[in-house]
């Protein structure tokens, strides 16, 4: 409840895009999506996720428009018309330099300031070269979900080699209760070893425990999850190492996705 540092309270919440359905049939299916930031998975009780920066890609790799987009107080919604057969990806990605340090008096400082862009000029001007506990990191965040008309395919999973990415071993629109699914994670195009994986089932509002499934990727970036039941699941992967490009000394990345698991 209490954020140790007040400014991070927004980060204490979880962002997600949840489709109403992920397995679609017929000639001209539509899917509706909710996008929000909240504590409880998936309850729209805190803040809407802004739609700027969310893109949808069709099975043939072309970008398609979000339709009927609307942003309310607690959620954004939009629809996709699945005119092609195969798997669509809805995602957002951001990355940038970040720095934090302490002043001589022990006050914590951070850069860039909230709501401002991280630019090279800004970094040179506003971040001290030397400071107590100076940490410069390059961070990236990816948020996505997938929906499929007809047979699942893999074209939208072609890696961009930026940040954390999922490569299906098991297709994310082919998940069933009681079955094991395997996914591979890449960091900037290379296997992400030792990434922390958390899976939280939907419906937190109506139970007393998160029921989080925790796992870690192996040296090849692989992780296996056995689905305990059907339903929507929120997956969060976080990774960090010291293989960062200068001036950063730390590389951090997060990957969040929503998956639907169907009953056997």
Tell me how many residues contact other proteins (CB under 8 A): 15
Q: Which residue of 62, 73, 117, 208 would you call a contact of other proteins, by CB under 8 A? A: 208
Q: Whole-number minimum distance, CB 6 to other proteins, in Å?
A: 6
- Measured CA to CA in angstroms, residue 1 lies from 6, 10, 39, 125, 234 at distances of 11, 12, 10, 36, 20
In the three-class reduction of DSSP (H, G, I as helix; E, B as strand; rest coil), residue 106 is classed as: coil
Q: Which residue of 1, 73, 129, 130 would you call a contact of other proteins, by CB under 8 A? A: 1
Closest CA to 196 of 160, 223, 161: 223
Question: Do 149 and 24 meet the contact criterion of CB atoms below 8 Å apart?
Answer: yes
Other beta carbons within 10 Å of 100: 15
Q: Which residue of 27, 73, 117, 209 would you call a contact of other proteins, by CB under 8 A? A: 209
Contact track, other proteins, 220-239, x by CB under 8 A: ------------------x-
Q: Whole-number minimum distance, CB 249 to other proteins, in Å?
A: 22
Of 2 and 120, which CB lies nearer to other proteins in the complex structure?
Answer: 2
Under the binding rule (CB under 8 A), the answer on residue 240 touching other proteins is no
**d(C-alpha 164, C-alpha 234), whole Å:** 16
**d(C-alpha 17, C-alpha 249), whole Å:** 31
Contact track, other proteins, 35-54, x by CB under 8 A: ----x---------------
Question: Do 182 and 221 meet the contact criterion of CB atoms below 8 Å apart?
Answer: no
- Measured CA to CA in angstroms, residue 97 lies from 91, 112, 121, 166, 185 at distances of 21, 8, 12, 23, 22
Under the binding rule (CB under 8 A), the answer on residue 210 touching other proteins is yes
Under the binding rule (CB under 8 A), the answer on residue 6 touching other proteins is yes
Of 1 and 120, which CB lies nearer to other proteins in the complex structure?
Answer: 1
Q: Which residue has the tokens 């079955």?
A: 179
Q: Which residues bind other proteins (CB under 8 A)?
A: 1-4, 6, 9, 12, 14, 39, 196, 198, 208-210, 238
């Amino acid at each position: 409840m209490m954020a140790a540092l007040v400014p991070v309270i927004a980060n204490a919440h979880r962002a997600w895009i949840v489709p109403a359905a992920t397995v679609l049939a017929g000639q001209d299916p539509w899917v509706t999506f909710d996008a929000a930031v909240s504590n409880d998975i998936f309850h729209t009780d805190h803040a809407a996720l802004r739609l700027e920066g969310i893109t949808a890609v069709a099975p043939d790799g072309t970008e398609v428009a979000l339709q009927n987009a609307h942003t309310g107080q607690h959620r954004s919604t939009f629809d996709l018309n699945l005119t092609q057969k195969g798997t669509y990806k809805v995602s957002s990605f951001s990355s940038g330099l970040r720095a934090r340090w302490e002043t001589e008096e022990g006050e914590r400082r951070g850069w860039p300031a909230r709501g401002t862009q991280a630019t090279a000029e800004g970094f040179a001007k506003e971040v001290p070269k030397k400071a107590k506990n100076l940490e410069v990191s390059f961070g990236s965040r990816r948020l996505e979900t997938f929906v499929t008309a007809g047979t699942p395919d893999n074209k939208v999973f072609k890696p961009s080699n930026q940040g954390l990415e999922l490569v299906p071993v098991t297709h994310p629109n082919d998940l069933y209760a009681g079955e094991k699914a395997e996914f591979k994670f890449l960091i900037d195009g290379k296997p992400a070893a030792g990434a922390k994986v958390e899976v939280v089932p939907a419906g937190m509002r109506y139970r007393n425990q998160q029921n989080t499934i925790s796992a870690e990727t192996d040296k090849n970036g692989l992780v296996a999850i056995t689905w305990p039941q059907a339903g929507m699941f929120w997956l969060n992967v976080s990774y960090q190492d010291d293989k960062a490009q200068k001036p950063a000394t730390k590389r951090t990345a997060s990957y969040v996705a929503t998956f639907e698991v169907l009953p056997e």
